[in-house]
Amino acid sequence: MWLVIAAGTLIGLIFGVVPGISGMLAITLMLPFLFVMSPMVALPLIMTIMAIQFQGGAISAILLNLPGTPGSSATLIDGFPMTERGEGGRALGAAQAASALGNILTALVALAVIPLILPMIVALRSADMVFIILLGLTFIGVLASGSMIKGLLSGGVGLMISFVGFQPTTGSERFIFDNLYLYDGIPLIPLMLGLFAIPEMVALATRGGHIAQSQVPIKGMADVWRGVMDVFRHKSLVLRSQLIGFLVGALPGVGASPATFMAYGHARQTSKNPETFGKGNVEGVIAAESANNACESGALLTTLALGIPGSPIMALLLGVMTMQGLIPGPDMLTKNLDLSITLIWVIAVSGVLGIAICLPLAPRLSRVAFIPGSLLVPIVLVLALTGAFSYHARFEDVVVAVIFGLIGLIMRRFDYNRPALLLGFILGPIFEKFFFIALKADGPYFFMRPISLALIAAIIAVIAIGPLKALIKGVKSRRGEVKA
């Protein structure tokens, strides 16, 4: 078993670091071998790769502004600015420690709350899911480090882009323009790589020098340990972000990306220095990495207990379980309880192995920030475009990456929020699916359910808290001026 976990840890880290492939591709490539393995080998191997991929994805997100996995997208918002400041080692230390704690603590929570959380999940209906996703969308404005209006506009553009393609519920084709490539919509990986990687590399090539704009010397493990200690200094934030990740992960079909953005938005709202988010605040890195790893424990519970994949990658786990003759559902928590507990423990153990591998390498990895741009830019651009091409092995994916690279350049130039666009794009299809189901099941009054009304109140609170804080701050400053 230990050998299986070690192998899965290495595979997950490698596939997580390389942009555009992720752990999902690793598992897909291994499917022919997984079907002939015993369940006690195949399923822990898959679970290890799933749990560890985010620790690899954080490395490329922080150092190169290239999210190795979609779940690492929120990490780059503050992780890459820290690298530009010469604090890449600190950001890596914080990310790895937060990820490991996310794996370990939420695995323990998953074991404890199995009897409690499953009735809650069953009680949720499609109408409630609509408002949970809307709650995630309200964080678009919060994500905007400058103007909330620009953040909401960016998110709205992301939503519009997500509507490209065939709509299975209505049977209509939207914005396809007789192009078969657009029938399945704009692909996520090429969009993500183009939106984040290309603008940063163009900016680096334009200004010259290297990624780190500061001449702060690399302090080796001292800088990395500073990041680790940052995590323990923000214990409350870690626990709150893990709770968000765990609960959002338990919702069927949502995945890690919305969880990380919601945790990031919560961190910014509750921070004493919200204006520093997006400019290299370590709290943003901690919140995102705590949530994305916690998400897997919640998603695993839903998959095992209800037979409903809590995330896209869990659908693969479900497929392998079925091929192995296992029936997902209540039987997994009764007849196969030993296997279910093993899978949960694998999440915790992989977190320990991941940090044991990544922390010693962090000082060397952080030197990437000081590689001359003339050498780094072509390497990263080739990586980004190769990652886009490898998604479906189609040249059109490269074209999409380039187009969104240009869009990203424009957004960067005029200070529009690229992560907000990505969040709108990710949540759009999920929102649309549950909206149509709710409308069909409950009619136009689906929002009158008690849970839905509570979620609507939470949405209003999230929207109002920013202006209220600004108003209170303005009143206090005016009182101070009067006293002076």
pLDDT over 90 (residue 461): no
Phi-psi region at 196: left, alpha or beta (left = phi > 0; alpha = psi -120 to 50): alpha
**In 3D, which of 233, 235, 217 has the Cα closest to residue 225?**
233
Residue 459: per-residue pLDDT: 80
Residue 482: per-residue pLDDT: 60
For residue 177, give the amino acid letter. Answer: F
pLDDT band at 86 (very low <50, low <70, confident <90, very high): confident
Dist. CA 197–CA 344, nearest whole Å? 34
For residue 418, give the amino acid letter. Answer: R
Q: What is the mean pLDDT of residues 406-421?
A: 87
What count of Cα atoms within 13 Å lies in the side-chain half-sphere of residue 197? 32
Q: What is the mean pLDDT of residues 451-463?
A: 82
Residue 370: per-residue pLDDT: 67
Range of lowest pLDDT (78-87, 247-256, 363-372): 363-372
- Percentage of the chain modeled with pLDDT above 90: 9
Q: What is the mean pLDDT of residues 410-435?
A: 82
Q: What is the mean pLDDT of residues 46-73?
A: 80
DSSP class of residue 216 equals P
85 touches 41 (CB < 8 A)? no
More confident residue, 331 or 337: 337
Residue 285: per-residue pLDDT: 92
Q: Which two tokens stand for residue 210?
A: 């290297």
Dist. CA 260–CA 311, nearest whole Å? 13
Residue 164: per-residue pLDDT: 92
Q: What is the mean pLDDT of residues 310-335?
A: 71
Tell me the residue range of the domain where 23 lies: 2-210+218-483
- In total, how many domains does the chain have? 1
pLDDT over 80 (residue 61): yes
Which range of 166-170, 253-257, 279-283, 433-437 scores highest in mean pLDDT? It is 279-283
Chain mean pLDDT for the chain: 79
**pLDDT tens for residues 230-280?**
999 999 999 999 999 888 887 765 667 778 888 888 888 888 888 888 888
Q: What is the mean pLDDT of residues 72-94?
A: 86
More confident residue, 454 or 144: 454
**pLDDT tens for residues 171-184?**
788 888 888 889 88
Residue 308: per-residue pLDDT: 63
**In 3D, which of 69, 110, 13, 17 has the Cα closest to residue 292?**
69
266 touches 241 (CB < 8 A)? yes
